[in-house]
Structure 1
Amino acid sequence: MTVPPASAEEALAIVRSRYARPRLPDGSPVELRVEEFDIGYLVYAAFPPVTDIAGRPQPAPPGGSKVVVAKETGEIIAVPNYPTETAIALYRQQLQPRQA
Structure 2
Amino acid sequence: MPQDIPAPPATPDEALAIVRSRYAEPTLADGSPAPMQVEEFDIGYLVYAEYPDTTDDSGEPQPAPPGGATIIVAKDTGETVTVPNLPTDSAIALYRQQRQSPA
TM class by smaller structure: over 0.9
Report whether the alignment pairs 1:68 with 2:86.
no
Distance in 2 between residues matched to 1:45 and 1:33, nearest whole Å: 6
The runs of at least 4 aligned residues of structure 1 exceeding 2 Å deviation read none
Q: How does 1:1-100 map to 2 (within 5 A)?
A: 1-98=5-102
For the structure 1 residues 71 and 98, does the alpha-carbon distance in structure 2 shift closer, same or farther, using more than 3 Å as the test?
A: farther
Shift of 1:97: 1.8
TM (normalized to structure 2)? 0.92
| Runs of at least 5 residues in structure 1 that lack an aligned partner in the other structure | none
Distance in 2 between residues matched to 1:81 and 1:39, nearest whole Å: 19
Moved more, 19-28 or 4-13: 19-28
SS in 2 for 1:55: coil
TM (normalized to structure 1)? 0.94
Shift of 1:51: 1.1
Number of aligned residue pairs: give it: 99
